[in-house]
Amino acid sequence: MPAIFFILAATDCGGTVSGETSSESSMSPDFEGGVKLEWASDRSFPIGNKNVQGLFNDRNPEFNPATQLKISKIPSGSRIDLSFDLYLIGTWDSGGKQADRWTLGMKEGGILLDLTTFPNRFKDPGEKVPDGNEGFVRIYRHDRAYWMESRRVSISPDQIRGDSLVLVFRGYLTGRKTEFWAIDNVRVTIHPIASPR
């Protein structure tokens, strides 16, 4: 069986989503092999010329703290490759008293990505002049710099219990109005056991 391949745009969130090599919204509930993908969050936000899924902040009740992607009807013995773009907005801290953390984990246990170092750099101590950012996002009447990192993880068959998996994307921030995150271009590739590499 060939690999089963999905790209999920952030605007696809809400309800069941699948789409083959497409970043467009596609709402067909069943796909080749019956694999099914469902997002827990349905909020999107414009960044640059894209709509990304977010914004997220676990300290501010106006935003969701996390999002989940449920992958179900996974063929037995499959390996899953997941890639996505992580948008880190504002003054994320890589250490110190205001240190932040971002994780991708499985709801039933197991951390797949544990980030404590972030690209958010500034040329001045007051964090007014960003360094190497991709652009700005306007939040609470402030232009916040953002950086984007493409991330990839592989989930081996022994990490998948049963035929479904819930992935939890979560940030642990100290800044209620100064630090946010979002995701986009979430790509799920399922390699069934008999798939030729």
For Ca ion, the closer of residues 19 and 130 by Cβ is 130
CA 114, chain centre distance (Å): 13
What secondary structure letter does DSSP report for 65?
Answer: S
Nearer to Ca ion, 69 or 173 (CB): 173
Do 50 and 183 form a contact (C-beta atoms < 8 A)? no
DSSP letters spanning 100-139: -EEEEEETTS-EEEEE-----EESSTTS-SEES--EEEEE
Minimal distance, residue 101 CB to Ca ion, in Å? 9
Nearest distance from C-beta of residue 72 to Ca ion, angstroms: 35
**DSSP H/E element including 191:** strand 179-191
The site for Ca ion (CB under 5 A) is made up of: 91, 93, 98, 100, 174-175
- Tell me whether residue 58 or residue 93 sits nearer to Ca ion (CB atom): 93
Q: Which is nearer to Ca ion, 96 or 196 (CB)?
A: 96
CB of 133 to Ca ion, least distance (A): 14
Residue 188, both tokens: 């799920």
Residue 48 in tokens: 């640059």
Q: What is the smallest separation between the CB atom of 118 and Ca ion, expressed in angstroms?
A: 9
